[in-house]
Amino acid sequence: MKIPNDPFIGTHYIGKEEIKAVKKVLKSKSLFRYHGPNLQYKTDKFEKNLAEYLGVKYVLACTSGGAALKLACIASDIGCGDEVIMSPFTFIASASEVLSCGAIPVFVDIDNTMNIDYKKIEEKITDKTKAIMAIHMQGQPCNMIEINKIAKKHNLVVIEDTAQAFGASINNKKVGTLGNIGAFSLQAGKTITCGEGGFLATNNKQVYEKAKMYHDNGGYRNGCNYPTWENGKTFFGENFKITEIQSAIALEQLNKIEKIIRKQNDTYYKIVNNIDTKFYNIRPFVIGSKPIFTSLAIEFKSEKECSDFIKKMNNKGIGFNLYCSNLISNFDTFIKKQSWHTSGFPYNVSHYRESDLSYSYSLFKRVAFYNLSASLKNKHIKYIIKCLKEYKDEL
């Protein structure tokens, strides 16, 4: 039996509501969020509904999760010579947006939650450290209580990379709202999606206004009027504006968020509650947190044990695998200090130093991940449980 293991979550919930919403925008002939003959204001409504759902004052929709991270960095005044502490167990965009600002990522080991080990953060702090990026991997929150304590002690900004954890919470407060700024993704594999897109969330008006200007080519825009660059406060920026079509889709997806989270978590617990968790070392999560379970992750004592398990599960049609081929700290841009520009920017203006990430390298090779596809049915779940029990009994 071939068992679904695709990483798409919100994608599987695209239906007549999204189609109807897109048709309405197309018929209006108003695809740009600020202008059109019959503007539907879908982006405005999406931002408003997101702010209500997250319990924050300000939300800014943008072109991608990466764009949201860069806006978070820009709005936090992160630039040349600055350092941002983060985990190496993430997608390259987490670090790329820091680099694009002229700053440098400083990598810190992960712990067995597969998120940054807060106990190792302080030893990496220098007079150049500007922020901590808390990356909530695969739907499970970082230990935000301890990270915020460290940030407060050292007067650091906390940026939450919530790309993979929209809808998760700690002590009933949504992740992405626990630090100074939260960056979210609407890419195809995320909790809700419009194919590509993202948004930034904050309670700080100054941060919001700065991010909003940068995402609109640095200009100041009053309502839907044409922006100005001559009010004494504006600067240059980039075009990170989302379209009305993307917002129309994402708005309908947001209406389904609780249904999506409930299905993901039901699938996870149906499996975990029916296998021997003394035998299977399931990825732990922070006390007080409510993850959105996008995957089932099992830690093994050795790489060989993990590899053997993956092979046997794959032979049964169950797509366990390592999460990634390598940590991003081992990518060319860091190992060789390679840049898109001949100057070597930003390595020519900011000093990158290697970190001891031995535990991270060991751990990620010993953890088998299985994507909890939104298309999993009860028959698939029962088969997964059966195969996991058989694997244990065979040893």
Q: Residues 3-56: pLDDT tens digits?
A: 999 999 999 999 999 999 999 999 999 999 999 999 999 999 999 999 999 999
Q: What is the mean pLDDT of residues 187-205?
A: 98
Per-residue model confidence (pLDDT) at position 247: 98
Q: How confident is the model at residue 395 (pLDDT cuts 50, 70, 90)?
A: confident
Query: 59 CB contacts (<8 Å, ≥6 apart)?
Result: 47, 48, 50, 51, 199, 200, 201
Q: What is the mean pLDDT of residues 76-81?
A: 97
CA distance 270 to 11: 22
The chain-wide mean pLDDT, for the chain, equals 97
Counting residues of the chain whose pLDDT is more than 90, the rounded percentage is: 99
Per-residue model confidence (pLDDT) at position 347: 96
Per-residue model confidence (pLDDT) at position 69: 98
173-174 sheet: strands from edge to edge = 173-174, 169-170, 289-290
- The two beta strands, 104-107 and 83-86, are parallel
Q: How confident is the model at residue 210 (pLDDT cuts 50, 70, 90)?
A: very high
Whether residue 1 has pLDDT greater than 90: no
Per-residue model confidence (pLDDT) at position 245: 98
CA distance 47 to 29: 21
Q: How confident is the model at residue 362 (pLDDT cuts 50, 70, 90)?
A: very high
Q: Residues 95-141: pLDDT tens digits?
A: 999 999 999 999 999 999 999 999 999 999 999 999 999 999 999 99
Per-residue model confidence (pLDDT) at position 379: 97
Q: What is the mean pLDDT of residues 77-96?
A: 97
Q: Residues 151-183: pLDDT tens digits?
A: 999 999 999 999 999 999 999 999 999 999 999
* Burial readout 197-234 (b: 16 or more C-beta within 10 A, e: otherwise): bbbbbbebeebbebbbbbbbbbbbeeeeeebeeeeeeb
Ramachandran category for residue 379: left, alpha or beta (phi over 0 → left; psi -120 to 50 → alpha) = alpha
Whether residue 2 has pLDDT greater than 90: no
Ramachandran category for residue 162: left, alpha or beta (phi over 0 → left; psi -120 to 50 → alpha) = alpha
